[in-house]
Structure 1
Amino acid sequence: MHRSSQANLFPPVPLADLLARAAMLSAPADATDLTRLRGLLFGRLRATGWVPSGDLRGRPPRLADSDEALLAALVRGDAAAFDALFDRHAARLNGYARRRLRLQPADAADAVQEAFLVLFQKAEAVLAHEPVNVPGFLFGTLRNKAARLLAARSRDAAVDPPDDRELSLDEGGLSALLQRETAERLASLLERACNPLEQEVVSMDLDDRDGPEIALALGITPNYVRQLRHRAFGKLREALAEEEPS
């Protein structure tokens, strides 16, 4: 992906990380069903072999309790650290899954649980990364799960490609324009305008991967890739138009 000369003054940040950051900033809090979700997640953690111990559950997190310290304590079995991490991030993850991604309640609950479970499973790698970014990892995992759910649903649907007469003649120009954007700006546009599956298609398209390659990576048909690209470019064009001074 091309960068502006100003952007090249700074170390590049992967687009996936920037999309996770954009998701974090746009996430509304939603406490719906969090008590039930907490219980399900605690049980699934125990099923992995994790044995809770340490302080009593429900201890309020102290201001000095960083995400890094809480994750390290969770790995050691600290049940209070589990509650503190959950209380700190679950409502916004749940809000993003239910309201921003419009997942069904069962799918949203599953996606939020998976985000925390993958965090636990990959805690060593997350803690070794500088800087430690627990919310970024959680939101990135949630986005990936949502994209897989949307792709799985599409595999069961008969999808026709857009008619060639409906394709905009300036999609090539829009693609070139997007490639000139900084990664930060592109991530913001994608997060605001497109769902996770559309974001994945556009990201891979701008990385010069063709339709069959994208279809294979996402487990969907090339026709559906074409439709998603067309739909996403339309949304991005509208988002850009809204920013133009009237």
Structure 2
Amino acid sequence: MPLADLLARAAMLAAPSDATDLAPLRAFLFGRLRASGWAPTGALRGRPPGLADSDEALLVAFVRGDAAAFDALFDRHAARLNGYVRRRLRLEPADAADAVQEAFLVLFQKAEAVLAHEPVNVPGFLFGTLRNKAVRVLAARSCEAAEGPPDAQELSLDEDGLTALLRRETAERLVSLLERTCNPLEQEVVIMGLDDRDGPEIALALGITPNHVRQLRHRALRKLREALSQVS
């Protein structure tokens, strides 16, 4: 499983629940779904879905226009998505609401691909989409820690040696280290680096400067080195 998917799974399992402002968020999302092509109709609405209904069945019904199925999926997953972006990532309320809405919009748009994947993993897809949105928000709002090259203390980090050490970790342990120590933007820089993507390529993918990539990489690797030293 790719590291990004494992990180999304870790976020999903650790996400706190937060129902703050979910009612207006749901109403706005309902409108955005209709604007994007979703056409809920009364004829397709059956009995209100219950707790026993699977995410797979609810997603099929939701895409077909069952508003009750949309409500059930939203009620089942929105509070934890909201809790993750508000309390774990500390996004501003407007950014948090937009991230949660985008997760459900992309789920609707890519429902066919989600349903074709075995096993069907609706919460995993929602959290993966949410994480991607969070990375974009953090990249857009993040400022350079400092101008110019890293200082002497940063240069002493031995990035190559630490990167080689990280490559020897199991995927599960690496994900645990990243989730505990780094924010999603820092995690993304480290993952891309482990995939042998260079600074300019990472900068282009994230919409930031190569110098900013260097700063984020140094910061993330320093945190990881400290975390590793505490458990060694």
TM-score (norm 2): 0.93
Q: Specify the alignment match of 2:61 in structure 1.
A: 73
Distance (whole Å) between structure 1 residues aligned to residue 76 and residue 124 of structure 2: 13
Alpha-carbon distance in structure 2 between the residues aligned to 1:105 and 1:25: 22
C-alpha displacement of 1:211: 1.0
Deviation of 1:159 after TM superposition, in Å, equals 4.6
Q: Note the C-alpha offset of 1:216.
A: 1.3
Residue 55 of structure 1 pairs with residue 45 of structure 2: yes
Letter in 1 for 2:84: Y
- CA offsets per residue over residues 62-84 of structure 1, 9 Å max, x none? 23311110000000000000000
After superposition, residues 138-153 of structure 1 pair within 5 angstroms as 138-153=126-141
Q: Which structure 2 segments of 5+ residues have no match?
A: none
Letter paired with 1:147: V
Aligned mates of 1:31, 1:148 — CA distance in 2 = 23
Matched, 1:116 2:89: no
For residue 165 of structure 1, the aligned residue among 142, 146, 152 is: 152
Partners of 2:78 and 2:51 lie apart in 1 by 18
> Which position in structure 1 is the counterpart of 2:27?
39
Match of 2:5 in 1: 17
For residues 153-210 of structure 1, what are the alpha-carbon distances to aligned partners after superposition, in whole Å with 9 as ceiling and x for unaligned?
A: 23x7685245330213333222111100111221121112111111110001111111
Residue of structure 2 equivalent to 1:198: 186
Change (3 A) 1:199 1:159: same
CA distance, structure 2, for counterparts of residue 199 and residue 161 of structure 1: 22
Asked if 2 retains the 8 angstrom alpha-carbon contact of 1:161 and 1:224, the reply is no
Residue 26 of structure 1: which of 14, 19, 22 is its match? 14
Cα distance, 1:240 vs structure 2: 2.3
Determine which of 108, 132, 155 is the counterpart of 2:120. 132
2 CA distance for matches of 1:239 and 1:106? 33
Per the alignment, do residues 29 and 161 of structure 1 end up closer, same or farther by CA in structure 2, a change over 3 Å counting?
farther
Alpha-carbon distance between aligned partners in 2 of 1:215 and 1:37, rounded to the nearest angstrom = 32
Query: TM-score, normalised on structure 1?
Result: 0.88
Structure 2 equivalent of residue 6 of structure 1:
none
Deviation string, structure 1 residues 24-60 (Cα, Å, up to 9, x no partner): 1111100100111111111111111211133379x3x
Q: Is the CA contact 2:144–2:215 (under 8 Å) kept in the aligned structure 1? A: no
Which deviates further from its counterpart, 182-191 or 124-133? 182-191
- 2:86 match: secondary structure: helix
Closer/same/farther in 2, CA of residues 217 and 196 from structure 1, 3 Å limit:
same
Q: Which residue number corresponds to residue 187 of structure 1?
A: 175
Aligned to 1:95: 83
| Residue 238 of structure 1: how far off its partner (Å) | 2.6
Gaps in structure 1 of 5+ consecutive residues: 1-12
Sequence identity percentage: 81
Q: Looking at both structures, which has the greater relative contact order when contacts are Cα pairs under 8 Å and sequence separation is at least 6?
A: 1
Q: Could you tell me which amino acid in structure 1 is paired with residue 120 of structure 2?
A: V
CA displacement 1:212-238 (0-9 Å, x = unmatched): 111111111111000000111122123
**Pair 1:236–1:110, CA change in 2 (3 A):** same
